[in-house]
Structure 1
Amino acid sequence: MIAREDLMDSASPLLDVTSLSFEDALKELEGVVRRLEEGRLPLEEAIGSYERGALLKERCETLLAQARLKVDAIAESTQGTPTLETFHHDDE
């Protein structure tokens, strides 16, 4: 079982989702949702899973927003060929 104190520790690897790719975060989020929907987790573990799921959801949304900005940056050049404009994200 995951201790609540471990989840609240900002240095905890359980909370670090920033290195996950979109695909990895989504796959893990799907697993969290599946376990929560089964309804068999002890309360504290369910709370920890919910918190982890919220972080994973936020990570997926962030990565999707970044991808949308990159796609939106595609513009037509004067010759009518698509070009990719330089994208600068706040995290870079």
Structure 2
Amino acid sequence: MARRKTDVEGGDTAPPSFEDALAGLEAIVEAMEHEHLTLEELVAHYEKGSTYLTRCESILQSARGRIELITLRNQNEIALDADAKSAESPGLPTPDDSPDDPDDDDNDIRLF
């Protein structure tokens, strides 16, 4: 049976999720701060951490863009609703409106 390549082996795997990339970045920082590593190991950790950081920033930028689109869409819907409501009531009297003065003859309909 063929063995699937892992990320360590440089295979083509799906990019990590935000949570996985962040956890990997935190683990690298922890190792670099508390373990006694050779210069080569430090450089390798730094390189991998840079990859994780780029992935996290990319995901965050994408999420920010999606949130901005949702916000704009909601603002447009609110504006359209407000425009529709103002178009429904243009300020003309409706049949339900009663005159201010019931004895006012100017509001009566006259045939002659």
Give the TM bin, normalised by the shorter chain: 0.5 to 0.7
Report runs of 4+ in structure 1 exceeding 2 Å deviation: none
In structure 2, C-alpha distance between the alignment counterparts of 1:18 and 1:54, rounded to whole Å: 17
CA distance in 1, matches of 2:31, 2:13: 19
What amino acid is the match of 1:79? Answer: D
Aligned counterpart, 1:35: 31
1:1-92 correspondence runs (5 A): 12-13=10-11, 19-74=15-70, 75-76=73-74, 77=77, 78-79=80-81
Contact 1:17 1:59 in 2 (8 A): no
Q: Report deviation, 1:51.
A: 0.4
Which ranges of structure 2 fall in alignment gaps of 5 or more residues? 1-8, 83-112
Which whole-Å CA distance do the structure 2 matches of 1:18 and 1:40 have between them?
31
Q: TM-score, normalised by structure 1?
A: 0.65
Instruction: Quote the Cα distance in structure 1 between the aligned partners of 2:17 and 2:63.
Output: 12
Highest relative contact order (Cα 8 Å, sep 6+), 1 or 2?
1
TM-aligned CA distance change 1:32 to 1:46, over 3 Å: same
**Structure (1/2) with the larger strand percentage:** 1
> What is the alpha-carbon distance in structure 2 between the residues aligned to residue 63 and residue 56 of structure 1?
11
Identity of aligned residues (%): 37
What TM-score do you get using the length of structure 2 for normalisation? 0.54
Larger Rg: 2
Q: What is the CA–CA distance in structure 2 between the aligned matches of 1:17 and 1:28, rounded to whole Å?
A: 15
Counterpart secondary structure, 1:79: helix
Query: Between Structure 1 and Structure 2, how many residues are aligned?
Result: 68
